[in-house]
Amino acid sequence: MNKQNWLKTRSTQALLLLGMLVGLSACVTVNIYFPAAAAKRLADQVVGEVYKAAASGAVSPSAAANHVSPDHSAPALTAPVVSPAPSAFERLTPAHVAGYLLATGFSVVSTPAEAAADLNASSPGVQAARAQLEAIATRMRPYFESGAVGWTANGLVAIHDAAAVSLQARAGLSGLVSSNNSALQNLYQQIANANGHPDWEGQIQQTFAQTWISKAPAGYWYQNASGQWQKK
């Protein structure tokens, strides 16, 4: 087979393959499932900042990056005009196309496609909720450290052993726990709302629940899945 025939045959095969894959990929339904990985990254970031604020006693309302994954480093005003990055279309090569189509085709026959969504945590509502939580975190820290309060398995705070602090310190404990839980619930709801999925609140809360515990400093108390108190 000469080179020309070989190319012709291979082109025909490639076209057939592409046609088949295009046909398969035309049937793809992209389901926006809860982006667990992005939620985990967001929880890691937010929880880390709240613990940091609690440790430093400082409140930084405008702290922080707003998206979890994309890095929005702001260009300086005097910087040259932002040159547009090569578009996704321009970066396409036959290998990319084939790879994409193969991956798409494979995903069609194996599992439903999952949108690689990132969680948006930049809405003013989320920022306000975070700032309020960080403000309360400073006052909550002594109670966590003494064991008076601990994390519940569902991402809220509960009184573990009020007697661990003085009578005077106990006086405002219930109110503080209540305020902290309101701020937490608000944070979970605001994140869900910011991503257009108020129904994700429960899953976001569960993701945060694990992170509050996993990132908690040693000595903090928490409830395990069966509701038993344990000390980190």
Partner 1 sequence: MPAFSMFRPPRPFGIWTSLVLLCGGGLFLTGSAGAQTLEISASSVQGPGWQAQHLQASLQTDSSYTAHLQVQAGVVAMGKQRVWQKMQGHCKLQTQYGWSCSGLQLTVSGSPWGELQSDGRLQVLRSDGAGSLQLHLQGATFGHTTLRIHSGATGHWQLQARGDLALKGWVPALQMLPAKWQAGGAMHWQLTSDGKSWSRINQLHFVARLYKGQFSSPDGLQAAQNVAATLTGDGQWLRHWQGQLQLRWTQGGVLWSPWYWAAPVRPVVVHSDWQQTAEQWRLNRGRIDWPELGTARFTVSQSLHGGSMRWDLHDVDVGLEPLFAHWIKPLLPASSFAAQALLAGRLRFSVAGVPALHALRWDLQGGSFSSPPMSLQGVSSHGAWDEHSPLESAVFHWQRATLYHIPLGPVALRLALHPGGFALYHPLDIHLLGGVLHFQQLSGHWRGAHSGFAMRGDLKGLSMRSLTRIMHWPPFTGTIQATIPELTYHAGTIHTSGELSAGIFGGEVRVRDLQVQNFLGVMPLLRANVSVQGLQLKPLTEAFHFGYISGVLDGNLRHLYLLNWSPEAFQARFATVKTPGVPQKISYQAVQNITKLGGGAGIGGFFQGMFLRLFNTFSYRHLGMGVDLANGIAELSGVGTENGGFVILQGQGLPRVDIVGYNHRVSWDELLARLKTAMETGPQVHTGE
Residues that bind partner 1 (CB under 8 A): 59, 61-62, 66-67, 72, 74-82, 122-125, 127-128, 131-132, 135-136, 139, 159, 161-163, 167-168, 170-176, 178-179
Distances (CA, A) of 109 to 26, 44, 99: 12, 34, 15
The distance of closest approach from Cβ of residue 141 to partner 1 in the complex, given in angstroms and rounded to an integer, is 14
Q: Which is nearer to partner 1, 74 or 95 (CB)?
A: 74
Instruction: Determine the Cα–Cα distance for residues 93 and 72; give it in Å rounded to an integer.
Output: 28
The distance of closest approach from Cβ of residue 169 to partner 1 in the complex, given in angstroms and rounded to an integer, is 9
Distances (CA, A) of 157 to 76, 80, 152: 42, 49, 6
Furthest-apart CA pair in the chain: how many Å? 93
The distance of closest approach from Cβ of residue 56 to partner 1 in the complex, given in angstroms and rounded to an integer, is 17
Do 173 and 143 form a contact (C-beta atoms < 8 A)?
yes
Q: Which is nearer to partner 1, 180 or 206 (CB)?
A: 180
The distance of closest approach from Cβ of residue 130 to partner 1 in the complex, given in angstroms and rounded to an integer, is 9
Q: Which is nearer to partner 1, 35 or 147 (CB)?
A: 147
SS3 (DSSP) at 100: helix
The distance of closest approach from Cβ of residue 99 to partner 1 in the complex, given in angstroms and rounded to an integer, is 31
Instruction: Determine the Cα–Cα distance for residues 123 and 120; give it in Å rounded to an integer.
Output: 7
Q: Which is nearer to partner 1, 40 or 67 (CB)?
A: 67
Q: Which is nearer to partner 1, 76 or 95 (CB)?
A: 76
Strands 221-223 and 149-151 turn out to be: parallel
